[in-house]
Amino acid sequence: MDDRALIRSVADRLEALADRTTGGDWRSAGLLASRPEVVAHGADGGTEHVAEARARTAAWITALSPAVAGPLVTLLRVAGGADPLEPAAVDLARELAARLP
């Protein structure tokens, strides 16, 4: 598989995984014993505790483990040095900026 096909394949797989994962905007909400709760806020105003949806969220959490950080940081740094900036990289940076501590 060439690099472009690899990128397309990974994007397709990530999209499919996101589609079957607990949707919504995940946010920390209070403390449950000694660990924070993660609550998914849906577009319809509903909420769901992510821990209650483990079967749908485990693959997402595993796919985006800390092992992804290094390559993602490199990708953002390369994209940040491009001229012109890639709009998708800007969108990704904005989404991450809104969620990072």
Per-residue pLDDT 10s for the chain (101 aa) are: 778 887 888 888 888 988 888 888 888 876 656 667 888 899 899 988 887 778 788 888 888 888 889 899 999 999 999 899 899 999 999 989 888 87
Q: Which two tokens stand for residue 7?
A: 């990128």
pLDDT at site 29: 78
Please report, for the chain, how many H helices and E strands are present, in that order. 4, 3
Q: Name the DSSP class of 24.
A: S
Structure tokens at 57: 């969220």
What's this model's pTM, rounded to 2 decimal places? 0.71
Give the pLDDT of residue 75: 92
